[in-house]
Structure 1
Amino acid sequence: MNEDEEKRPLRHAIFYRLTDVQYVELPDRQEQELHAAHEHMIITVTGGTGALQANGERHALSRGACYIFSPNIRIVLTYSGSDEGAVGGLSYYCLTFDSVGGEKAKEVAGTAEPDPFPCLGEVACSPFSYCVSELQGLYEKRHEQDELEAFRSDIRFQQLLLFIMQKNLPLRTESSVRRAMELSIAHIKQNYREELTVDKLAEQANMVRWRYSRLFKELTGEIPLHYLNAVRVEQAKKLLASTDDRLFNIAQSVGYSNEYYFSRRFKQSVGLTPGQYRRHQRENIRVFAPFIEDYVLALGIRPIMQFSHDDWGRQEYLGLDDVPEFNVVSDSEAALSDFAPEFIMLDSGIERWGMDRLTSLAPSIHLTYKGEEWRSTLYSIADLLGRVAEVRPVIADYENKATAAKAKLSRSIKRQTVACLRLSAQSILLYGGPDNGYTGPVLYRDLGLTPHSLVEKLAKGKRFVELSMAELVLLDADHLFITIDTISGRQIELLQSPLWRSLPAVRNGSVYEVDFLSWMNYGVLSHHRKIDDVLRVLS
């Protein structure tokens, strides 16, 4: 069924009349063309495999497939081989029917065309055993002369159509559709150990497979089998962390048929083998995580080496004075090898600084995350390091601090405007609003500061924009936070220019230089530092 067919209302006062029923066994390498000029057609496959072509589309056929077509459509069926237990080629029932009693609706609509049946295309007809039983009964009575038996067959056909409509017409309300999908998702969570297929799940939800899969992805963001795999992996994590069960037993208990398949799926999902994940939950492993140290340290783990850069230096705000530095620009893998890492975590810097050269030294994982979603990133890293219990207190500590700071700032600066600039010898970058970038979510959302109008106008929906001199002139914010990108040196000619000195914030002494690596960072400890810096100058 397509989108338009889903929305088509059920016509009232219509009786559907069966005009013919055939049972066909199509031999190998043969095809059959079907056409009904003025009647609808139902094709239901009972055995074999093949293909159906209609309206320029090709559909694979196997036992259980059921299609309904409107009048005057040419259909070609071909047989490709028997499925298990099928004999005699592609076997199917073909029924034709028309509508009676829709004259009033046609008159109102001003058309003589036959009323379309409300379910067209591929339709669900499960349980299939009931469908086959009804089709067989109709076929056996197709030549019935007794009026009572003929009438009984008419009723049987109406019941078959009612059965198909109940299985395929859209549920009456959006809430009931959502409820059906929520029940299916709950079923997966409760019965992940069972052998679940999309066909079984769709049948339980009383939907055809394609519609079920589409709605499932709309609700969860995942196709059904990927979601099922994620549920199984999460359960396996709990068992790996809390038991000494063999991997074979864990695989069986969460729904995988063998240990090899389980291990492969687990590694694809988590980035570690089950054995590595279990060890990380129980031991203090030696971690190297360049430019992710903020997250690692927040979880109570000190890395074996820390990020440093020729121009930017190291993240001094972390206080890792006793931790050796690894220069991502100039140091080779030998410098890291001497400290015997057991686990390496890398982010987007893997491409920027060629960090893939380090992955041969220890089990490694490339983290992909949206920086603004630091809470979920912290959870992901904690899961890999066996520190999930530490995450909630870390987040709560930050949120309590931000709430208290927001109240204090609301009293001290009220509606004065703020902007954040990143300055280098080549460019002036204005950082974005409350949803994007290193600084906006902290300044404008967590602390409730008021962004200057240029932030909304030029950087809305962006992490930052480059300002021209003409645009900089318009930046009459009450307060400016600036950070200097020293990758091209600290000599910023702009800061000595008449244009810069003319800005209101500069004239009023309301420009505050802040630490580059703590403000250009998404980690929770860097956000603590931002709050401290803001309170120091504005509260």
Structure 2
Amino acid sequence: MIQVRPLIATLQAVFFSAALLLSGCGQSAPTPAPTDAAQQTAEAPATAKGAAATTQPTGDSQKQTRLYKDFMNREVEIPAHAERVIFIGNTAGDLLALGVKPVGLNMIDAKPTVFGDELQGVEDVGHPGDPEKMLALNPDLIILGVNIEEERLQVFSKIAPTVAFDKYRPVKERLLTLGDILDRQPEAKAWIADYEKQTEQFWSNMQAQGQVKPNETASVFIFYDGGKSLYALGTQGLSSSLYHEKGFKPTGAIQKMLDNGVSFEEFSKERLGEVAGADDFVVHPFSPVLQKLQTLYSTRHPDNDPGGMRERILFHELLELIFAAKRNADTRLSPELAVEQTRAFLHTHFQEPITVEQLASLAHLPRWQYSHLFKSLTGQKPLDYLTDLRIRRAKELLLYSDDRLYEIADQVGFKDQYYFNRRFRQATGVTPRQFIRMQQERLSYRDATGRKIALPPAPERIVMIGDAPGELLALGVSPVGINKANSSGILYQEQLFGVADIGHPVDWEKIAELQPDLILLGFCEDEELIRKLSRITPIVTYNKYAPLYQRFRTIATIVGRQQLAEEWIATHEQKLNALKRHLPLPNREETASSFICQDGKLFVMAGKGLLSTLYGSGMVNAQANIRKLIAQHVAFAEVTPEQLPLFAGDRVYLIQSANDSQTRQQLERTAQWSNLPAVQNGQAYLIDDKWNYDDPITKQYLLDELPVLLGQTS
């Protein structure tokens, strides 16, 4: 029996992806029609169950349409040769095998695949399909491989002709059905013939090597819902590749599934003996299999590999890697996999009383080893992980149910309402009631561009574009992606370890791969940019040039952490006031200004940067013209060397940018700089640009450096 555990449940999908890939070895264009012999080999039912066996041309030939009766017995007028196809379902590889690249796809069903680069440029239309996004793609055909309510089907049909097919049929039947829909019958038959030929060769080799015994049975299982539901695979997935005249044989129960065309069927663990094969092996770890698949796909179509010989060798190595696990695997799970299974257990039993000792016992590990492995795999202690699960579920119930607090506490595993209140506040910074009130305000949030946004209740995977992520980090939120060019000089680089760089300008595909639930954009009037980002996930703009406290409160509201922001601001104000009492300040009549050289230009800093917080605190006076800029809500302004005297205060701070030291040095050699009173009086200071970032973390560090930066000890 091949047992696919939760950690490797993607094996069946990836295995099929490899089969699709192999069929295209050596082909960079749609496959030509096979020979008569190949056609005979490829004989299979003409269409999937419930679909019409024929189509009929209609009306004027210039319209190039035809009638097609689909899986749902609907007669649809479809284009004779569709060119802009939207595909909704989890078998996108079917289209690629036919040489058809869709213009739109529900990407959540396209993962994991080894042909991701083939999907570059394909738009994500969401699940189960966003009509607005689909309409924008101007499709001429929509193909559905998912169950969908009649109302949504009617909406899709108004966008373009929409046909349904049975995605649960065996791959050969699916390809023939899609070949019929897309007028790609020769390509479908050629793929099937090539695949059967290579499958025959593979199993002959496996028999010759003694890897498969005569009449040896095998079964494939997948666990769902954290191991609560057990399904045996029939006509789909890995099992469809295992059962062959020269390969493994299905058990009696599996054979019944195959005879009845059943893709998968749930079995209780008590009935496991009915469907289990003669062998029991676990493919673990999964990474070597995935690496072999990726190597296979990345080396396809080489010019120096006529006939795809190298690809066939790699494919055989892949299958042998899978079957080698059967001969060598110990029936005892590895410690890492055992811990992973307890994590799945937590997701389905978090409402029950659970101890670390109980979890360690389930994993058959000593408590100390279990706790160490769990933290290394998840980054959290077991009970902290459990608390997070309970808090996340509690947030959902608080927002979307009418249950009382004591009922929610009981449902998520807290012993009483008071303990629930305490742990919730520890985790979120607010009480459950405060959380409800704040979320109700957030659910109809209007961003910096005036757009009304439905914010996710508790975003966890945030991409931040256009500014350093200090606000998020100060709120206890680590973004999954940032454009690191905007954070190259920050003081807290170590906190960005593991955060993906989305590039500058941003790389849409990298953002999509991160699967964010929210994108923060530091104010943008480019509607096209916002439209593109909105296809990935909800996007919220904010004014990154706003004063620190205003900007911090805005971001805190967006991510639902207002209380933490207010606590930080109060603490920061207290420290500023303490410094004012104890720090020898410059003459109260003195003024100060700061400048930075960047990209060959000179800028005066106003409402943002090194001195912005100090201006408002009364610790430093802004020069008169800088005060005017601040009153106009200007963050910074470009000036010429000739304008320096108009903005220079009694003290001048010149910020040295790491990427433009040449411009600074040229400025320092000018007469305009040398003649400034601050320079002549020894009150001009060279400051590292790391202090010019205007975020909470930098400002916190700045308080410790003020004596030096204000020139008291310079």
User: TM-score, normalised on structure 2?
Assistant: 0.33
Structure number with the higher strand fraction is 1
User: TM-score, normalised on structure 1?
Assistant: 0.43
Over alpha carbons, which structure has the higher Rg?
1
